[in-house]
Amino acid sequence: MSLFDDRERAYEAKFAHDADLRFKAEARRNRLLGEWAAEILGKSGEEARSYAMTVVTSDFEEAGDEDVFRKLAGDLEGQVDAAAIRAKMAEMMTEARRQVFNEAN
């Protein structure tokens, strides 16, 4: 086993770990966004949890965040403007990363 092979394996392991944390943070952000939107829509309890899951699953439509944005913008039309949704998406990503990082350590 050469030093190069060891470094390559370490790099691959770090890449996989980082990708896993990124996926978890995005899913957490989407759940948090769903809970935020559910509150605005007047949902609570199981109905709010179910709605939050629809936001999480909306992220599987295409790569990137636009699918989640479209879901929220459509559901919150007339109640929250696009700029506020995008700001909340950024805020919730910061919070989700913090939560996932704290759970990983």
Q: What are the CA-CA distances from residue 89 to residues 10, 32, 45, 56, 85 (Å)?
A: 32, 9, 22, 13, 6
* pLDDT at res. 28: 96
For residue 15, what are its two tokens?
């890449």
Condensed to tens digits (0 to 9), the pLDDT of residues 53-83 reads: 999 999 888 888 999 999 999 999 999 999 9
Condensed to tens digits (0 to 9), the pLDDT of residues 2-14 reads: 777 778 888 887 7
* pLDDT at res. 46: 96
Radius of gyration (Cα) for the chain, nearest Å? 17
* pLDDT at res. 1: 60
| Average pLDDT of the chain, as a whole number | 91
Mean pLDDT in residue range 19-44: 94
Decide if pLDDT at 18 tops 80. no
Decide if pLDDT at 20 tops 70. yes
* All domains in the chain, ordered by first residue: 3-104 (1.10.790.20)
Decide if pLDDT at 26 tops 80. yes
Of the chain, the percentage scoring pLDDT greater than 90 comes to 68
With a CB cutoff of 8 Å and minimum separation 6, the contacts of 78 are none
Q: What phi-psi label fits residue 77: left (phi over 0), alpha (psi between -120 and 50 degrees) or beta? A: beta
Give the separation between CA 86 and CA 82, rounded to whole angstroms.
6
